[in-house]
Amino acid sequence: MKISPPRWADRFLEWYCNPALLEEIQGDAYELFYRNAKESERKAKLSFIWNVIRFFRWKNIKKRKPYQESTILHTAMLKNILTVSIRNLLRYPGHSFINITGLAAGFSCAFLILLWVSHEYSFDQFHTKKEQLYKVLTHVDANGTIQTYDVAGNNIDVSTVPEVESITRISSGNRWPHELCFRPEGKSNECIYFNGIYSNETLFSNFNFPILSGDPNPLNEPAQIAISEKMAVTLYPSENPIGKTIKIDDTREVLIASVFKDIPGQSSIQFDFALPFDILKKQWGIDDNMLAQQFFNIYLKTKIPVDVKTLSEKLNNEQVISAAYKAQKIKYEAYAFTDWHLQSKFENGHNSGGRIEYVTLFIIIGILVMSMAVINFVNMATARAALRAKEIGIRKVTGAYRGSLIVQFMGEAFFIVFAAFLISALVTQLALPFFNQLIGEPLTLNLLSDKMPLYLAGGLILIALLAGFYPALIISSFQPATILKGQLSNATTGSLRLRKILMVVQLSASVGIIIFGSILYRQLEFITQTNLGFDRSNTIRLEPTFTLLKNYDAFKNDLLGNPIIERVGASDSNPLNTGGGNIGVDWQGKSPDLRVSFKTIGCFYDFPQTIGLALLEGNNFRADRQIRDSLATEVLISKKAAGIMGFDNPIGEKITIGNAACEVVGVVNDFHTASLHNEIEPIILYRKKIFNVSAIYIKYNPGMAQQAQEIVNTAYKKIEPTFTMKYWFQDETFDELYKTEILASQLVLIFSIMALVIAIIGIAGLATFNVMRKTKEIGIRRVFGASITEVLGVLFKEFSWVLLFAVAVSAPLAWYSSTQWLNGFAYRTAIPWWVFAVTVAGAALLILIIIWLQGRKTICTNPTLALRSE
Amino acid sequence: MKGTYLGELEELVLLTVGILFPEAYGVAVMDEIEKQAGRSLNISAVHAVLTRLEEKGFLKSSMSEPTEERGGRRKRIFVLTATGKRALEEANELRTQLYNQIPKMALQFRLA
């Protein structure tokens, strides 16, 4: 058998090779093949393939014969094409307007989403050693469910972990001693609050918080402070603050050692000033030993990027975590610092998303809106093609090639896309302040920074290609003879099926977004209407000073002397968000295996009534200071806590919290102590001395917020004339809890409207096209006596299947994704079927209206006119 | 045209075409270079150089009769043109001239 070279390689050669060179090249290749084949057939085949590949050079490649002159569009021709394009745009201003607006709306949405998403992704990315930074998380096993905290024990000892280069401890918070009042020099009556952190000397070396002037290592010394540029300018508008002393809490003097650059908004660590831990010890009045027992934000910097799993394992060594914590089933986890901002939600010890869920959601919405806009463009352009058929016919007859027609229509698409892009850039710029206000972030639109122009140009070209390709292909395929004879068939206006599929995609997207949005809204409604078990409305929360607490009774009486003020109470944690639980609660008969976390709220005797808790059994705290004849602290427990403790008659039972002996005096109703994402937990309210509370709660008459605030301020100034009152409304704090959800719902609302607008444009486009196509059919039907409603029905029929398909696609998806979202809440609203029904009915009605508006003229004109036109 | 500058491989191929007259075509040139200079080239490289030399006007070519070993395909036979010959001579002259300018001392390293 005669051997021959591999067939595919030979064919490949024949395919690419310039015919003029093929014979000699193929000849040489064959000659070498037969020569090699005498030694080894395999080697010959391989070398043949190799040669074929090596021959694949620019010079040898077959070049398509260029059209004679025609690929070069003459300037005159270009001018003509441009003129015709502009005339076309101007002749149908409505159509052009809709077309450009639709695209611009899509672009604007995409821009805003892009800005927000890139902002979210830029968090903590400015640290040069970001890959070497890790945050230590703590998992606490509380009776089977694992709670995760973003703090770790201050006694963590990483000296035995070779990978770790240094450790940064940060103590942060919203209240004293992190939120401090500073007085500008010479104005001892003015008080400006700044929020700061306590940290160790590695803060400025491990993180990129550049120091502008002064000591590069300000936290080395025990009595130094580093302040931000903003703080420096506020306190010392005209002087250099370095070297000055400033008082903390009006008592403790510290030296301003350095000024650092304002912390960028994209940092998850925020502070206006930094103090060493020595100051914190003095503020709290604790020694080193007690400081070691605190939990702080712990950050590790490693020598090189390491595997988080191995690092986490090492952190759980007994020398590192301490034997005591190990015994308490506490576990540490090293977590990549840059992941924290977007993925900070933990469920049962495992990451379960976080903000990333919303980021993904909006990326999906952005893509959907964008593709809807592009689909619109394609639909409109192909539908309009019929109107331009004659132009194309003439162009073809006078010698236009298909290629040049494609170039023309792609060019037009590009022109419109570019116009829409410019408009949307303008719209985005104008909308940005409102958008920023909405999301509370300072986003800026900078089209010229970094690689932005590159991405934009790429995106533009891609979209123009997507939008222009199909119409250009369809339009340029017209047969001139048929067109000029005036016969327009379906084939000349593009595939109706494709157009319908696109319509299904579009409707699915808008129906889906709208259903999802309305469920989101219902859940938020549910949240605001849920009874939390205590009264959060019409309540001012006030941060007291020490002097104020000393004069608490006088202050309280002063307030209550006014009829607007209903009740006043004080506690050490806000019931809206009490923070971490306490697993150190013990009682008689507690099973040794039982590990349960209680929310403990330390409060003054008047607090439970102030927030309107209902007493189910026993008594409230006594008004006098304490039960004199007992050392035990009085506590109130919630119904759920009583259930867990298994007390039949809880009154008088003894429990311990940590080391403190307590006695149950009453049982109150269950109430929420965190957002509705979490289950209600068992609660213990214990008495606390007035000096240890953190906030005073003032309940006023409904609708009297302004007056109440003035009354409180007057009373406050009587006691603290030199301080500015720090206060919040509980309702606003409540909204803060659902900040992300509220933000998401507002964004979803905006984008639903956008999606709706684009969908309307799309439906309008298709409806116009259908009416146009069916002008004669409508005429004939009218002649035979069809009523207007019947004709409308015929037109609507085209859409009914599209709508049905769209609903079939989008409803399950919307249902699934909203169920997923709702599952994040322990307390959630049901998804009612009518949301789906109303959305679908609304869509159907909308389509009907649009068809009526578009088709009215055709349906109502005398049918003879329609039938006569040829 | 790129001028008459002759690259090293070009010169080698040009010389080989001269040697092989009148039977110089791709595979033969490749074989001859391997035999004489010990350099194994890929056939496609040889083709590229031959085409380039023809573009520069140093070679001209014509198709031969079909042969059995090539599956009945013809060869493209290359021959030197007058310019090609002159280019070779110039290159050769330049070399000799430059070589002769090297001081004797510089070449007597073997005695040192």
Q: What ipTM was reported for this prediction?
A: 0.86
Fill in the DSSP letter of residue A73: -
Residues A59, B69: C-beta atoms closer than 8 Å:
no
Confidence band, pLDDT 50/70/90 cuts, at residue A572:
confident
Are A838 and A690 spatial neighbours (Cβ–Cβ below 8 Å)? no
Fold of B8-110: Arc Repressor Mutant, subunit A (1.10.10)
Helix (H/G/I), strand (E/B), else coil: A422: helix
H-helix or E-strand spanning residue A212: strand A211-214
Dump strand ranges (E) for A66-201: 133-142, 145-149, 152-153, 164-171, 179-182, 192-199
- Structural domain spans, chain A: 7-60, 130-341, 357-527+739-868, 546-722
Report residue A294: phi and psi, to 5°. Answer: -75, 165
User: Out of B25, B44, B76, whose CB is closest to A57?
Assistant: B44
Within 8 A of B26 by CB-CB distance, chain A residues are 24, 28
Q: In chain A, what percentage of residues exceed pLDDT 90?
A: 5
Residue A283 Cα distances to A42, A178, A269, A286, angstroms = 85, 10, 22, 8
Cβ contacts from A onto B, under 8 A: 55
Q: Which residues does residue A73 pair with via DSSP β-bridges, in sequence order?
A: none
Sequence-distant (6+) residues with CB within 8 A of A504 are A802, A805, A806, A809
Q: In chain A, what percentage of residues exceed pLDDT 70?
A: 94
Residues A34, B69: C-beta atoms closer than 8 Å:
yes
Residues A54, B45: C-beta atoms closer than 8 Å:
yes
Distance CA A442, CA A122 (A): 13
Which pTM was predicted? 0.69
Asked whether the predicted pLDDT for residue A134 surpasses 90, the reply is yes
- Higher pLDDT, residue A296 or A88: A296
Confidence band, pLDDT 50/70/90 cuts, at residue A136:
very high
Residues B70, A30: C-beta atoms closer than 8 Å:
yes
Read off the amino acid at residue A588. Answer: Q
Confidence band, pLDDT 50/70/90 cuts, at residue A64:
low
**Which pLDDT score is estimated for A135?**
92
- The mean pLDDT of A343-367, rounded to a whole number, is 84
Residue of A nearest to B52 (CA): A59
- The mean pLDDT of A643-650, rounded to a whole number, is 85
Asked whether the predicted pLDDT for residue B91 surpasses 70, the reply is yes
Degrees to nearest 5, angle at CA A572 with A571 and A577: 100
Asked if B63 has any chain A CB less than 8 Å from its own CB, the reply is yes
Read off the amino acid at residue A294. Answer: Q
Q: What is the CA radius of gyration of chain B?
A: 17
Fill in the DSSP letter of residue A723: S
Fill in the DSSP letter of residue A545: P
CA A540 to chain CA centroid, nearest Å = 30
Computed over every residue of chain A, the mean pLDDT equals: 83
Report residue A602: phi and psi, to 5°. Answer: -85, 130
User: Out of B43, B69, B70, whose CB is closest to A51?
Assistant: B43
Are A829 and A522 spatial neighbours (Cβ–Cβ below 8 Å)? yes
Query: From chain A, which residues contact B within 8 Å (Cβ)?
Result: 23-32, 34-35, 50-51, 54-55, 57, 59-60
Peptide bond into B22 cis (omega under 30): yes
- Structural domain spans, chain B: 8-110
Asked whether the predicted pLDDT for residue A405 surpasses 60, the reply is yes
Residues A27, B73: C-beta atoms closer than 8 Å:
yes
Distance CA A200, CA A617 (A): 49
Asked whether the predicted pLDDT for residue A395 surpasses 80, the reply is yes
Residues A23, B25: C-beta atoms closer than 8 Å:
no
Asked whether the predicted pLDDT for residue A350 surpasses 90, the reply is no
